[in-house]
Structure 1
Amino acid sequence: MTKNAQRLSQLISTFGPGAMIDLPTRSVVVGGLEQWDMKGSAFSTLPEPRLTMRLEQILKEQGRLDPAASLTLRTPPTSVDSKDGVPRGVAAPIFPTWFICEQVETNTSGAKTTRRRRLVRWQDLDSKGRRKFQYDDGRKSDVTPIRFVCACDKGHLQDIDWRWVVHGSGTCHEPMWVEEKGTSADPADTSIVCGCGRRLSLQDTFQPGRLGKCRGERPWLLDRDPEGCGDNLKLLTRTATNTYFPQVHTVISLPTEEDELSQLVDELSGDLAGVQTVQDVAQAKKFNPKVSASLGPYSDGDIFDRLQRIREGARTDATRSPKLSEFDTFAGGRSEIGANHPTAKLYAQTLPREAWADPDAGIDLSGIKNLVAVHRLREVSCLYGFTRFEAAPTGSDGDIEDITLSVRGAPISRDADWLPAIEQFGEGIFIHFDATAIAAWLQKEATAVRNQKLLAGYGHWQKRFAGKAPAYPGTAYVLLHSISHALMAEIALDCGYPASSLKERVYALSSTRGGGDVDRCGILIYTASAGAQGTLGGLVATAPRFAYILKSALERLRICSNDPVCADHEPDDRSGDRATHGAACHGCLLIAETSCEMRNLFLDRSLLVPTMGDDLSCFFS
């Protein structure tokens, strides 16, 4: 892989449109969808009607998609040979356009000696590659992009106007330097100094309004927001983790329980996105070789009929959480789910109880109804927006994060009718919990007391969102979420998968619209990858040892390396995300955030096993 290449999965997560990337000689911002080279065979269309319909519905409601448009999902472009020798990919404009010379100058003023480096603009660099700055005496110096830019809560991004920040409304054309003292890189020890004598400490730039008002600039789209802005700009460190939080929606593909034609149409639903009549089917056959090869023998009317059925089913699913359909598929109790075929989207088996509930393990498994070995699954993830400074809170039902409610988000295109997505294949295990047993546990007095403490913590945490935080997921969700993290850590030790390659989907759902008692309880622990990590079979192979794995996971949680501090942690009076935690820390329940669907929120091992701080509210004795 070259230094300027990114993996497909990175383009819909960490480094999507609007994200800044360091290259060897400069920094760039990943371009919006209009700057992606999607010509010819550079991309593939991904068929996933459930995900497409849901995103289309939400984006149209938000005014971010033309009401007459039909949304499609496409893979990011891959670099292939082209006639002009330029590889296909994603255009990335230079950002920021302020640079610092690497040549250090020493400035002595009295008894103090400071280090300073020249601050220059992109247009000041040499015309050959723009990698060096030439001083007046002929000396040349390499340059690096400045670390500081500015942005607003709406996701707009722009260079800091250093001359205006230092001088105000005055005009000055003297050289400028970044001056540093000490070795801490603290903002108080870094200043912008002008040759005229004016200076500005970076610590002062944190004052509200000190960097000026936002102009609505969107360098990844090469334009300004037509709605304008006017918010106060905030200082943003270019390489900090809060510069970019992708908004990604993920679903698990479900099998099509119909005839062969329905399966073929389902697989090609992405290529048939523009088909609205029977006549359009004939045109698709004529101009799309892929459609012609697969559907040629079938009549146009039958193809259109199957397509309509798939779309109607997807529209029905689009009105509710995608997790409901997934849970009903896994928890149906059928001995086989899907087809055991290399091209199948999903194949799973509900195992007989004696295959996984070993009585010699010495653990009560009465609260678990079934265990499902998922031999093959397909995960589709789609990027539809992003935020800066703070991630949008995640709902426990797995639905789309409405970035207009709690955190204002930014678009990844101006008016594209497609979104970038990737598909990954893997395996997993699904644990179906008895909702009745969990409901009975919630009625216990000790559980109710613990529930009130978790609710108090949630009340403190939601204040940061000005009353627009997602609803409390419920203590049943906290229980299942904590079990999931414990199992993931133990499975990683048992089967050899890297812990960071495991993912979770927690199902604590109500069949009643608008909320109600939780009657669907389950956990899907899976791994999915475009490479070989998701197809080794090691995760499914843990199913016969499940009772022993669960027992070991729970035993590890009884004592945490940070006890008694961890066990005594109370969520009600803490700041930040710690307000959502009971007895949970990096020594026991917290895992890699890429593996957790809830960004490591709402965890408490006191709900699972007796701890030093609470030995009465546990689900497992």
Structure 2
Amino acid sequence: MTKNAQRLSQLISTFGPGAMIDLPTRSVVVAGLEFWDMPPTSFATISEPRLTARLEQILKDQGRLDPNSSLSLRTPPIAPDSPTALPAGVTAPIFPTWFVCELADVLTVGSGTIRRRRLVRWQDLDTRGRRRFIFDDGRKSDVTPIRFVAACEKGHLQDIDWRWVVHGPVQCQEPLWVEEKGTSADPADTSIVCGCGKNLSLQDAFQPGRLGKCQGERPWLLDRDPDGCGENLKLLTRTATNTYFPQVYTVISLPSAVDDLTRLVGELAGELTNVASAQDVAIAKKFNNKVSASLGTYSDDEIFERLERLRAGAQADASRSPKMSEFDVFASGHQQIGQNHPTAKLYAETLPRTAWVDSSVSVDTSAIKNLVAVHRLREVSSLYGFTRFEAAPTSSDGDIEDIQLAVRGAPISRGADWLPAIEQFGEGLFIHIDEQAVNRWLQTPDVVSRQASLLRGYGHWRTRFSGGAPNYPGTAYTLLHSLSHALMAEIALDSGYPASSLKERIYALSDAGNGGVPVRCGILIYTATPGAQGTLGGLVAAGSRFSSILRSALDRLMICSNDPVCSDHEPDGRSGDRATHGAACHGCLLIAETSCEMRNLFLDRSLLIQTMAHHQSNFFD
């Protein structure tokens, strides 16, 4: 990988527009989409009509997309293979622009010492590479970006005005210094000191309003928010994990019973995004070699008719939760789902019960209706915004909740008509759970009692959201979510996949929403990566051993290394995310957050099996 390069997946997750990245000599912020170098040969258009239509509708509703524009999905720019070609890339402005000199003066104060380092601006550095600061006496010092910046809950980001913070409205041009005492990074041991004698402890900088009001700065867009701001700025550690939470929308591509022409048009839908008539099809054939090679033998009217049909289907699906469409395909019961073809977006088989039920294993599988081996699937993910300080609430039905505006997601462009996206291929297992069995279980007195405890915990947890919280996903969701985590841990041991490479999609969907009676229950455990791990076949092969995997997963949950503390945990009255947990901890159910769709919320192994606490709310015997 070349210097200062990022993977495509990182640009729609960890290091998307608005995120800060440490480089060897400075820190930068990834610029918005308008500042990405996107010549036609540097990116590919991704066709996923369901995802495109849903995101287009949402962005228009939020005023982030022109009502007359059509949205498209593109990969981030890819560096060319030729070493002599000018590489495409992403602009990354310098941020923050305050630096601390590495050359330190050691001062003796009483019985202790203080390390004193000069605080300087980007424009103060040596113009040749801007890597060093030259003192008045000729000494040269390397510099590092200051660790602290200021941000607000709307996602705005700006340098701290250290002179104003130290002096207030009084003007002073004396040099600023960072003074540190002790051996820890405790804010109380760090101060910003001016040459005039004024100083500020970083511990005081955490006080509300101490850094002043937000000016709506958006350095990733090189502008200020036209709507203004005025909220209190908060101190933000530049490298902390709460500086950037991407808002990513993900769907699993679905097959359709189509003829060859519809399939070809579907594959080229990204190239035909701006086609609005049969005449436009003729123009696309003339100037796009890919379209001409694939569709040249078909008439323009036929091609446009198929394109309109695909768009109509996507618009109809846009009003539904993406998980509902996915569940209906996986749980159809068809022996074959999709096509067994190298270019197919989805190919799966509903396994006969004799292929995965082992009578020699003592586990009750009566509540599992079907097991589907997903030989090939395509996952498309698109970045549409981000938040700071706290991640956006996650909806259990896979949709973007209206409540997401309460966490004030920030835009990644000023109004671009495209979003960055990636597609990944992999495999998986879909477990269809009997909805009637789940509903009968929900009505038992012990489960009703346990649900009341989980609801009280949810009530405490939701108070952390000032503008409202996500709906309670339902006790059925907590059951399936806990089962999914248990199976993922066991499958990782059985199949050889790294646990962090596995992902989940939980289908506990109700018509009424807000945790109502589920009418669709299932779990998709899958892996999808750009590399070889997505196609090793380990997950599909695990289907024949599913009974043993399920039994081992449940047995492993009976005793946790943190018992009895874990098994006795009650969500009532707890603070933070622990209020959404029953018996769940890092020793039993919690997994890597990159693998969990709900950020490790709403888990309880006492809903699966009987723990040391002897709750009678277990679904499995």
TM-score (norm 2): 0.98
Number of residue pairs matched by the alignment: 621
What's 1:619 paired with?
619
1:69-101 deviations in Å (ceiling 9; x for gaps): 000000000112689864211010000000000
What's 1:409 paired with?
409
1:116: Cα distance to partner?
A: 1.1
CA distance in structure 2 between the aligned counterparts of 1:186 and 1:490, rounded to whole angstroms: 41
What's 2:440 paired with?
440
State which drifts further: 301-310 or 380-389.
301-310
Q: Which amino acid aligns with 1:210?
A: R
Q: Which amino acid aligns with 2:481?
A: H
What's 2:528 paired with?
528
State which drifts further: 165-174 or 108-117.
108-117
CA distance in structure 2 between the aligned counterparts of 1:536 and 1:497, rounded to whole angstroms: 9
Change (3 A) 1:194 1:274: same
What's 2:244 paired with?
244
1:359: Cα distance to partner?
A: 1.3
1:433-472 deviations in Å (ceiling 9; x for gaps): 0000000000100000000000000011001113511110
User: 2:401–2:470: 8 Å Cα contact kept in structure 1?
Assistant: no
What's 1:577 paired with?
577
What's 1:161 paired with?
161
1:556: Cα distance to partner?
A: 0.4
1:300: Cα distance to partner?
A: 1.1
Extract unaligned runs of 5+ from structure 2: none
CA distance in structure 2 between the aligned counterparts of 1:376 and 1:404, rounded to whole angstroms: 32
Change (3 A) 1:526 1:369: same
User: 1:392–1:401: 8 Å Cα contact kept in structure 2?
Assistant: no
What's 1:196 paired with?
196
What's 1:62 paired with?
62
User: 1:559–1:611: 8 Å Cα contact kept in structure 2?
Assistant: yes
CA distance in structure 2 between the aligned counterparts of 1:225 and 1:82, rounded to whole angstroms: 40
User: 2:403–2:469: 8 Å Cα contact kept in structure 1?
Assistant: no
What's 1:103 paired with?
103
What's 1:36 paired with?
36
User: 1:346–1:378: 8 Å Cα contact kept in structure 2?
Assistant: yes
1:283: Cα distance to partner?
A: 1.5
What's 1:500 paired with?
500
1:387-427 deviations in Å (ceiling 9; x for gaps): 00000110100002446433001100001000000000000
1:327-362 deviations in Å (ceiling 9; x for gaps): 000000000001101100000000000000111111
User: 2:281–2:304: 8 Å Cα contact kept in structure 1?
Assistant: yes
Counterpart secondary structure, 2:485? helix
What's 1:541 paired with?
541
What's 1:484 paired with?
484
1:182: Cα distance to partner?
A: 0.6
Extract unaligned runs of 5+ from structure 1: none
Counterpart secondary structure, 1:293? helix
1:53: Cα distance to partner?
A: 0.1
User: 2:392–2:404: 8 Å Cα contact kept in structure 1?
Assistant: no
What's 1:386 paired with?
386
What's 2:118 paired with?
118
What's 1:175 paired with?
175
Counterpart secondary structure, 1:102? strand
CA distance in structure 2 between the aligned counterparts of 1:21 and 1:609, rounded to whole angstroms: 44
CA distance in structure 2 between the aligned counterparts of 1:415 and 1:240, rounded to whole angstroms: 29
What's 1:375 paired with?
375
Change (3 A) 1:402 1:421: farther
What's 1:604 paired with?
604
What's 2:430 paired with?
430
1:237: Cα distance to partner?
A: 0.1
CA distance in structure 2 between the aligned counterparts of 1:520 and 1:186, rounded to whole angstroms: 50
CA distance in structure 1 between the aligned counterparts of 2:603 and 2:320, rounded to whole angstroms: 26
**Cα RMSD between the aligned structures?**
1.3
1:491-531 deviations in Å (ceiling 9; x for gaps): 00000000000000000012458874211100000000101
What's 1:146 paired with?
146
What's 2:517 paired with?
517
Q: Which amino acid aligns with 2:222?
A: L
1:256: Cα distance to partner?
A: 2.2
What's 2:308 paired with?
308
Q: Which amino acid aligns with 1:226?
A: P
1:181-218 deviations in Å (ceiling 9; x for gaps): 11111000000011110100000111111101111110
CA distance in structure 1 between the aligned counterparts of 2:86 and 2:152, rounded to whole angstroms: 35
User: 1:511–1:520: 8 Å Cα contact kept in structure 2?
Assistant: no
1:163: Cα distance to partner?
A: 0.6
Q: Which amino acid aligns with 1:349?
A: E
Q: Which amino acid aligns with 2:315?
A: R
CA distance in structure 1 between the aligned counterparts of 2:125 and 2:513, rounded to whole angstroms: 61
Q: Which amino acid aligns with 1:188?
A: A
CA distance in structure 2 between the aligned counterparts of 1:134 and 1:159, rounded to whole angstroms: 22
Change (3 A) 1:513 1:438: closer
What's 1:453 paired with?
453
1:34: Cα distance to partner?
A: 0.7
State which drifts further: 21-30 or 460-469.
460-469
State which drifts further: 469-478 or 102-111.
102-111
Counterpart secondary structure, 1:79? coil
Residue correspondence of structure 1 range 316-331 to structure 2 within 5 A: 316-331=316-331
1:31-85 deviations in Å (ceiling 9; x for gaps): 1101111102100000000000000001001100000000000000011268986
What's 1:469 paired with?
469
User: 1:256–1:262: 8 Å Cα contact kept in structure 2?
Assistant: no
Counterpart secondary structure, 1:451? helix
Q: Which amino acid aligns with 1:438?
A: V
CA distance in structure 1 between the aligned counterparts of 2:527 and 2:566, rounded to whole angstroms: 29
CA distance in structure 2 between the aligned counterparts of 1:499 and 1:487, rounded to whole angstroms: 11
Q: Which amino acid aligns with 2:279?
A: Q
CA distance in structure 2 between the aligned counterparts of 1:388 and 1:273, rounded to whole angstroms: 33
What's 1:359 paired with?
359
Change (3 A) 1:616 1:477: same
Q: Which amino acid aligns with 1:265?
A: V
Counterpart secondary structure, 2:41? coil
Counterpart secondary structure, 1:554? helix
TM-score (norm 1): 0.98
CA distance in structure 2 between the aligned counterparts of 1:484 and 1:404, rounded to whole angstroms: 26
1:273: Cα distance to partner?
A: 1.1
What's 2:553 paired with?
553
CA distance in structure 2 between the aligned counterparts of 1:298 and 1:513, rounded to whole angstroms: 45
Q: Which amino acid aligns with 1:618?
A: N
CA distance in structure 2 between the aligned counterparts of 1:253 and 1:568, rounded to whole angstroms: 41
What's 1:133 paired with?
133
1:149: Cα distance to partner?
A: 0.2
CA distance in structure 1 between the aligned counterparts of 2:40 and 2:404, rounded to whole angstroms: 35
Counterpart secondary structure, 2:446? helix
CA distance in structure 2 between the aligned counterparts of 1:338 and 1:619, rounded to whole angstroms: 33
CA distance in structure 2 between the aligned counterparts of 1:425 and 1:115, rounded to whole angstroms: 52
User: 2:382–2:421: 8 Å Cα contact kept in structure 1?
Assistant: yes
Aligned residues: percent identity? Answer: 75
Counterpart secondary structure, 2:143? strand
User: 2:427–2:534: 8 Å Cα contact kept in structure 1?
Assistant: yes
CA distance in structure 2 between the aligned counterparts of 1:419 and 1:206, rounded to whole angstroms: 35
CA distance in structure 2 between the aligned counterparts of 1:94 and 1:466, rounded to whole angstroms: 33
Change (3 A) 1:216 1:252: same
User: 1:438–1:476: 8 Å Cα contact kept in structure 2?
Assistant: yes
Change (3 A) 1:509 1:410: same
Change (3 A) 1:283 1:515: farther
1:346-381 deviations in Å (ceiling 9; x for gaps): 000000000001111110000000000000000000
What's 2:273 paired with?
273
